[in-house]
Amino acid sequence: MERTDIATSRQLEGEVARRNSEAISHSDKPGRRSEASSDDSGLARVAAPLANAAAAEHAIACSVPRGGGWRPGAKWAREDTSARVSEHLDTPRHGKAKVAAQIAALPAHQRPPLRELGRRSEAAASPFRAMPPDEATGGQPFRPPGALPKSLGPSQSVPPRKREPRATRDSARDSGPPPARGNGAPPPLVTSLKHGSRLVIAAACPAARAFGLTPGMAITQARALVPDLDIRDADPAGDAADLLRLATTAARRWTPLAAVSGADGLLLDITGTAHLFGGEAKMARRIVRLLARLGYTARVAVADTPGAAWATARFRRPGEGRGRYAWGNRPAQHPSGPGLRRGDGFVIVPPAEHPAALAPLPLAALRLDPAAIDALVHLGVETVGQLAAMPRAPLARRFGDALITRLDQAHGRVAEPLDPVIPPEPIAVVQRFAEPIATAEAIEHWLGKLMLHLVTALTQAGKGARMIELVADRIDGVPQHLRIGLARPSRDAAHMLRLITRRIEEIAPGYGIDTLALHVRRADPLGAQPFEERLEERAADIAPLVDALANRIGDARLWRIQPVESDVPERSLASAPPLADAARPTARLKSDDVRQLDRGVDLHPWHPRWPRPARLLRRPELLDHVIAELPDQPPRRFTWRGETHRIVCADGPERILGEWWQRTAEAQSVRDYFRVEDEAGHRFWLFRRGDGERPETGDLAWFIHGAFG
Amino acid sequence: MSSATIAELRESLRAIQGDGLKRRPVLPFGVAALDGRIASGGLRLDSLHEVAAASPDPSDDAAATLFMAGAAARAWGPVLWVVRRRDLFAPGLYQAGLDPDRVLYAEAADDAEVLALMEEGLRHRGLGAVIGEVKRAAMPNTRRLQLAAEGGKTIALLLKRHAREGGNPLHVPSAAITRWRIGSAPSEPLPVEGVGRACWHVALVRQRGGEPFETIMEACDETGRLALPARLADRTAAADGADRYSYVEAA
């Protein structure tokens, strides 16, 4: 690479004057966790008194087989409760009792299992993965004796999301042997992704990587390697949404030109903005710290071109610099920086030095096609520097333009425009007054004018308002707020104005209002709307009515009922928003789905004939003095609310079984419903808990659940 | 003078006199025994009707509820149901013909809000029925509702629930066109074990331009229609085995 080339390119770039920084993020919290586990400085201090105590105990009496008492170096003794243990050791007591007291002093979840105390009556933990809790029996979830319930473990933080496969691979390479995990450490965490027909690891936490689990490995293999692996579903869409939100934040805070780069990076054009944050180094450090606060470990590289920044951030390990670049890994100076670890930080490539910085990097740093990389490696070209030194014409002929373009983009000979994220702008219209207004008529007049502007702004944005807030600034500085909601995205100025003027008396004008503003707090996309034309008589749209009612009583108190396929009466319906789609969603079945064979008509979830009351009691009420024959006869007589009813005729039972998939407790439960009619002609819906034969189905108590007309 | 002119004059005269009830939109019950005794030949669509349960008993209350649900089910469009408590059970209303997709529920904090929401619904003109549940509604309030309903095609049904202190909820003066009292009646006896089709005591306590009456009807079927009970043998005798057999033969 000749210097003239670089100079030219810099000058060319000078017009755009682009310096890019690239941030890569991946989750960092597991990393902190693994660091914490390696801290064993207090071990020696703890071990000495424990050893003394053990010797003393041996001297007194030791009836434990195989000469083992409790072992001074046992894992549980290494926990950070050592201070408390040694404190107890100071008090002179007798051997076993003393140890028992020490153990009793520990919190329940830190007490050593009997097996660690040398007694062998307890079974060892299964080496296989812990079974999921058995729902059907309602029992406790199976857990190996040594394992702790997750909620009781020492302060653990679940990493939000893994972001970067590449970073995980790097860390796996430089990590040592798999660390032994203490009892309380949470299990290694990986996320799984369906790839074709198999599940593979999408990302792994550092603890998992230390066990040799790498992204791309099959989940079954990982499970065989690490039995108690914590596997969760990956959420690529959620990751992308988070990254986009991060880019939006960057575009609001640091630079107007921020773009998402791949699945795990951001490209920020910090030309002309770095000095606002105290220079490139300070800015990079701030970015790293902010991301650390959000729970991400970031690596930031600042270079002249997007390609160079991309490559440096991903392929240059901090610490590899040869004194030429500014490295941000100075943990001694920033011990308090949250999340700043050794090995993380930022890289700043000085101006015009990016070719030298790129030269030792592998070819993958150029964002090349994997096939091209393979072919180049085959030819003996392994670094960017080697590639740049090769003659261009044969390269272009052999590998096409893409390779040359990438090389030039990285070196700055070809411009690489960013596709910036545009932060959404809130829609608002404001009207200021020279003279404050105070009357309802004046407010209404100006609201009418403002609403027209608002509708124009909404039309330009292609949106319909769902929530509008009126802010009236009073001259004494007490703003008045009025918020209206719309059930359906709307741009109907008359309708919105009607809703808002109806509540105009809620505004207290005080000494006068000098600014009126309408803010759109929530908006949904709304395409072009046809003109209202009434050629034939049609049913009016009920959306305006819903708006009017909702603004009077609130959204929560306006609903619609949707049927749910459940036999349990309380669960057979669900509330829905008032303008929810009436049609039930019918899922498209696959061609080989067995349900395709069902050619019957689509039945309504509610049966038209099975007796259901018009009003349901909020919860079933217990009946007294019920006389009924077992197992399946309706009651002859019952007392409810102090009134005795004698049954003349009855229908039933309609047996409704508990839904074991909803709650474990109702796996066995049964309700036998009866429709009964008393002498006065009143009809009730009663049920008995239990089927009258098996005691586990219920205690045979009678309840009333509703009344029929 | 041509007959057309005379018809026109008669019409204007009827409009002045205010007895043009017959030509208003009406929701008939489809049962001659009922429609023939109501002055307007059914429930007038553009007006307010009051319904009360015969007693505070839940069963009577459910009968009154289903009576309203059946009327709303036979009306033409969406239904607004304003409640004070969320105790309606939509599967039960579905069995009276009221499809859940048609009903919009609103919960009001007090009686005044119920009436205000009902008025809002009536003035919208896009609803088939508006139903409200109140304990008390004074004459001015019901008149307001009646005025809001005039000129539209929305039937207004007001369920007057029994207050805690007792008293007949239909005794309060009201501007409603008809006032109904609905209560459960013993069901039709069956030749086998079981509960037959439910029956109601249906009483039209007061109506504008007509006489009150009282009868027993079969409860709403799944399309919301009432029916006249079939003439059966005496109920107490029907419980007897021999009579039951003869009934089966007769049927």
- Reported as a single tens digit per residue, the pLDDT across A58-76 is 555 444 445 455 555 555 5
A60-69, A667-676, B150-159: range with lowest mean pLDDT: A60-69
- A505-534 per-position pLDDT tens digit: 888 988 899 999 999 999 999 888 776 655
Question: Is residue A608 less than 8 Å (CB to CB) from chain B?
Answer: yes
What does the mean pLDDT of chain B come to? 85
Closest CA–CA distance from residue B33 to any residue of chain A (Å): 21
A613 at interface of B, judged by CB pairs closer than 8 A: yes
B129-134 sheet: strands from edge to edge: A573-576, A558-563, B103-107, B79-83, B129-134, B155-160, B48-53, B178-185, B199-207, B213-218
Residues 6+ apart with CB under 8 A from A417: none
Least confident of A325-334, A446-455, B204-213: A325-334
Tokens of A320: 């590899």
Written out in words, the top-level CATH class of the domain with range A165-178+185-234 is: alpha beta
Nearest to B181 by CA among B164, B206, B156, B198: B206
Q: Each residue of A185-213: pLDDT tens digit?
A: 778 889 998 888 889 998 888 888 888 88
C-alpha to C-alpha distance for A174 and A658, rounded to whole angstroms: 54
- Average pLDDT, integer, range B24-37: 87
Each residue's pLDDT tens digit, A351-397: 888 888 888 899 988 888 889 999 999 989 889 999 999 898 998 99
- Is B219 at the interface with chain A, CB within 8 A? yes
Q: For A29-33, A325-329, A447-451, A454-458, which range has the lowest pLDDT when averaged over its residues? A: A29-33
Partner residue facing A561 (CB), from B100, B124, B196: B100
CB neighbours of A292 closer than 8 A, spacing ≥ 6? A28, A298, A337, A338, A339, A340
Higher pLDDT, A364 or B2: A364
Q: Which residues in chain A (473-502) have CB-CB distances under 8 A to chain B?
A: none
**Residue A520: in which H helix or E strand, if any?**
strand A513-525
Unique residue bearing structure tokens 């409790």: A70
Chain A residue closest in CA terms to B108:
A553
What does pLDDT average to over chain A?
A: 76
The 3-state secondary structure of chain B, one letter per residue: CCHHHHHHHHHHHHHHHCCHHHHCCEECCCCHHHHCCCCCCCEECCCEEEEEECCCCHHHHHHHHHHHHHHHHHCCCCEEEEECCCCECHHHHHCCCCCHHHEEEEECCCHHHHHHHHHHHHHHCCCCEEEEEECCCCHHHHHHHHHHHCCCCCEEEEEECCCCCCCCHHHCCCCCCEEEEEEEECCCCCCCCCCCCCEEEEEEEEECCCCCEEEEEECCCCCCCCECCCCCCCHHHHCCHHHHHHHHHHC
Contact A609, A519 (CB under 8 A): no
The mean pLDDT of A674-680, rounded to a whole number, is 93
Residues of chain B contacting A545 with CB distance shorter than 8 Å: 80, 120-121, 124, 126-127
Q: How many CB atoms lie within 10 A of CB A310?
A: 25
* pLDDT mean over A300-326: 74
Which chain B residues are closer than 8 Å to A539 by Cβ?
Answer: 77-78, 126
Architecture of the structural domain at B22-250:
3-Layer(aba) Sandwich (3.40)
Average pLDDT (A53-62) is 56
User: Chain B contacts of A623, Cβ < 8 Å?
Assistant: none
Share of chain A above pLDDT 90, in %: 26
- State the CATH architecture for A428-530+539-552: 2-Layer Sandwich (3.30)
Q: Do A681 and B63 touch (CB under 8 A)?
A: no
- The residue assigned the tokens 């409860």 is B219
- Over the stretch B94-133, which tens digit does the pLDDT of each residue have? 999 999 999 999 999 999 999 999 999 999 888 999 999 9
**Separation between Cα atoms, residue A182 and residue B189, nearest integer Å:** 75
Q: Is B104 on the interface with A (CB under 8 A)?
A: yes
CATH number 3.30.70.270 is the correct assignment for the domain at A3-27+238-411? yes
ipTM of the complex: 0.83
Mean per-residue pLDDT for A600-620?
Answer: 86
Nearest residue of B to residue A647, measured between CA atoms: B195
Where do the domains of chain A lie? Answer: 3-27+238-411, 43-117, 165-178+185-234, 428-530+539-552, 615-708
Report how far apart, in Å, the C-alpha atoms of A462 and of each of A453, A491, A520, A631 are: 14, 10, 13, 66
Dihedral angle sign, alpha carbons of residues A385, A388, A394, A400: positive
Taking the CB of residue A375, how many other CB atoms lie within 10 A of it? 15
Residue B241 has pLDDT above 50, yes or no: no
